[in-house]
Amino acid sequence: MWLPVIGRALSYLCMHNADMGSKTKAEKAQFLEGLGLERKDVAAMLGTTYASITELMSQAKKKKGAKKNATRKAKGR
C-alpha cells in the first residue's frame, strides 16, 4: 500500500534535484514518465490534467520531429 506513495515521493525529489525548474511541463512529464510514473500521477504532480499532459507531449514530439526533418533536409543538400 505504501510503495506507490514512496515511489511518487522519490520521483518528486529526483525531479527537484535534477534542476527541472526551468524546463517546460512537457520535459518534466517526460522525465517523470521515464522514472516509471503513470501519466495520471505525472499530471497530479505537475498540477494539471491527464489530457493536458498528453497534448503537451504530443506537441513536443511533433516539434522534435520537425527539427529532425529540417536537419536531414539540410544535410541532403
Number of domains in the chain: 1
Give pLDDT tens digits for 7-65: 888 988 988 888 888 899 999 999 999 988 999 999 999 999 999 999 999 998 888 77
Q: Which three cell numbers stand for residue 59?
A: 506537441
State pTM to two decimals. 0.72
Asked whether 31 and 15 are in contact (CB, 8 A), the reply is yes
Per residue, the 3-state secondary structure of the chain, as one string, reads CCHHHHHHHHHHHHHHHCCCCCCCHHHHHHHHHHCCCCHHHHHHHHCCCHHHHHHHHHHHHHHHHHHHHHHHHHHHC
**In which domain, by residue range, is 28 found?**
3-76
